[in-house]
Amino acid sequence: MMKLQLTDKQNIFFCSDPHYNHKSIVKGTTEWKASSMCRNFSTLEEHNERLISNINETVGLNDILFCNGDWNFGSYSNKENTNGVKEFRDRLNVKELHFIYGNHDTEIRKSKELQSCFSSVQDYLELQIAIPYKEQGIKARKQLIVLSHYSMRSWNRMHKNSGSYMLYGHSHGNLPGQGKSMDVGFDCHEGFRPFSFKEIDELLVNKDVVSFDHHN
């Protein structure tokens, strides 16, 4: 389990499915018949530049960013995909970026060199964030967060105490969260940018603690 503390000087952010260099997800360049599923950009360049600018404007140099997969796209035959991994990462200002593998991240999964672009890489991550109270003498609240590219109906400690959070991607806003879970993909944020922990906490902290199996 990774443990972090929320401070005034360092914020924590979450995102998923940037799909850098993905022509088919862009309305102006797609070959998909269902263009309603595409992002509303005229060109791939416009899409890529907006991704980069929105991340850099939101996430500070010394903040921490977690990405839940599907980093980039591109041809495998001419190393467009491999080069795109590095290009996208090099243009982001944030120093600490942890990555959860998605179903389209085969090149990153195979390459130690590409994995080194990130602070850590994994298929699944449990994260504990300590949120200090302003009043002296009160212990910090500790919030457990489960990170995966795919949504889960049952996850670790979802029913314990005030309930853990489950943050996922993959579904591009087409699979609503249940209980204290939510899609943190770029398509789910009204500003097409990463979610801060504060935003997520405000959305989930008062949601009902639910359990879909025998755990209670």
Average pLDDT estimate for 192-205: 97
C-alpha to C-alpha distance for 160 and 120, rounded to whole angstroms:
28
Per-residue tokens: 10 = 């360092």
Residue pair 147/131 in contact by the 8 Å Cβ criterion: no
Residue 137 is predicted with a pLDDT of 60
91 band by pLDDT with thresholds 50, 70 and 90: very high
pTM for this model (two decimals): 0.94
3-state secondary structure of 86: helix
**Worst-scoring range by mean pLDDT, 78-82, 101-105, 109-113?**
78-82
Average pLDDT estimate for 141-157: 96
2-204 CATH fold? Purple Acid Phosphatase; chain A, domain 2 (3.60.21)
The overall average pLDDT reported for the chain is 93
Q: Flag whether pLDDT at 30 surpasses 90.
A: yes
135 band by pLDDT with thresholds 50, 70 and 90: low
Sheet arrangement for strand 120-122 = 120-122, 96-100, 64-67, 12-15, 195-196
Residue 216 is predicted with a pLDDT of 58
Domain ranges of the chain: 2-204
Residue 103 is predicted with a pLDDT of 97
Residue 159 is predicted with a pLDDT of 86
